[in-house]
Amino acid sequence: MSTITQLNIPTTNLPRIVVIGAGFGGINIVKQLDFSKMQVVLINKTNYHTFQPLLYQVATAGLEPDSIAHSVRSIFKKEKTFHFRITEVKQIDPEKKCIYTDLGDLSYDYLVIATGSQTNFYGNANIQKYAMPMKTVPEAIDMRSLIIQNLEAAILTNDLEERNSLMNFVIVGGGPTGVELAGAFAELKSHILPTDYPDLDIRKMNVNLIQADPRLLVGMGEKSSQKAKEYLEKMGVTIWFNTFVKDYDGTNVVTNTHNFETRTLIWTAGVKGSTIEGIPQESIQFGRYVVNEFSEIKGCKDIYAIGDIACMISDKYPKGHPMVAQPAIQQGKQLGKNLKRKIAGKKNLVPFSYFDKGAMATVGRNKAVVEIAGMRFSGWFAWILWMVVHLAFLVGFRNKMVALANWIVQYFQYNKGVRLIIRPYKSAYEREQEQALKP
């Protein structure tokens, strides 16, 4: 029986399952649980679930933030006994079976960690300070504001070097996010910005994609990689392969091959697990919690991890499953079913087996690459597949309809209608410049 609580969670004789994180894994495990036979508490830093694969469209003015975010409470509004709290878990005590949050403590019988991942800057403090990450809705909104603000500033300056810096956009990371961002920037340059800024020579806007590997989309086949490269280069994106970013001071990107003068460095080059203090260090590998085939963390009884934060090592996946949505969704569903069996006293737990449904990335209108069941597609058909899959996994009917309506309008008009600076953004470099000018 769980009793320790300062989060205004009712005491209960039912086993209490606490889930940390409302991403793909957290949402899907809660959907599987039986609220009549267990007390379920979901904890998240925000009151919404974010559909992260479409964050880049918010950043590039293709979608409004509320079309890819959905209220957690509304997802479970039919569950009268559902308990949700907005807070951050600071520490876990496996011995006492208790978590410590910003708002108080809470005991658990079973704990599920689904905290996902965060941007990995690989220990470079300057890049972390000055670059733009894109893992959350606020970060995507900030990026959208910065892009538009830099173009507005480019109109006002007579300094040619400063204008070039403001109109030079550098994206680091040639995975799906980097490729999709680069394609979105290229479409803005070709179809949107010339109309928005007739008094600015948009032809001088540069989109650079930096990739440390010798090809793009290393998680996909070489043919898909080559096709994405061809699409981007035809759209005017300059791709720099075998290039490593060493430093960035807010204006100058230093790499092993070439330096870039830019006021916008977008970092999509890697992620790492969002770990929580309290789990033994020996249970962490590759920055993720090592779990067995039932998602239980090594050396921690009744504590589970799913999604990006979980490292389920196997012969096929020696570093754990890929840190994308599908493993999180499948692990959440499977663990939910197993916890129901366990609480019911059944011993027939089913080990997790990942079904790889394929990979995909879109580059622009009518341009995408898709790999499913050993088959490869590109072009218009792949682009339609990409849209269908993303619409299917968006949470909420309204979000699906809003996204679809936006895509239809943009297809026929090339009009990204949310080019708005809702919340003016100041980069760390700008704040430092303002501070230096103060008497």
Q: What is the largest CA-CA distance in the chain?
A: 74
Q: Which helix (H) or strand (E) holds 382?
A: helix 380-393
Mean local confidence (pLDDT), 189-205: 93
Domain boundaries, the chain: 14-44+86-117+270-342, 123-268+364-431
Reported as a pLDDT band with limits 50, 70 and 90, residue 109 is very high
What does the pLDDT read at residue 415?
Answer: 67
For 338-369, write each residue's pLDDT tens digit. 999 999 999 889 999 999 999 999 999 999 99
Mean local confidence (pLDDT), 238-267: 96
The answer to whether residue 1 scores a pLDDT higher than 70 is no
* Alpha carbon distance 359, 312 (integer Å): 20
Q: Residues with catalytic annotation?
A: 180
Burial class (CB in 10 A: 0-12, 13-18, 19+), 311: buried
Mean local confidence (pLDDT), 85-104: 96
What does the pLDDT read at residue 367?
Answer: 95
The answer to whether residue 3 scores a pLDDT higher than 60 is no
* 230 token code pair: 């061809």
Report the CATH architecture of 123-268+364-431. Answer: 3-Layer(bba) Sandwich (3.50)
Mean local confidence (pLDDT), 152-174: 96
SS3 378: strand
The answer to whether residue 117 scores a pLDDT higher than 70 is yes
Report the CATH architecture of 14-44+86-117+270-342. Answer: 3-Layer(bba) Sandwich (3.50)
CB of 7 closer than 8 Å to CB of 103 = yes
Reported as a pLDDT band with limits 50, 70 and 90, residue 413 is confident
What does the pLDDT read at residue 5?
Answer: 55
Burial class (CB in 10 A: 0-12, 13-18, 19+), 372: middle
Please list the residues that pair with 360 across neighbouring strands: 370
Which amino acid would we find at residue 228? A
Reported as a pLDDT band with limits 50, 70 and 90, residue 417 is low
Mean local confidence (pLDDT), 207-231: 96
- Average pLDDT over the chain, rounded to an integer: 93
**Strand 110-113 relative to strand 303-305, pairing:** parallel
Q: Is 123-268+364-431 the same fold as 14-44+86-117+270-342?
A: yes
What does the pLDDT read at residue 407?
Answer: 84
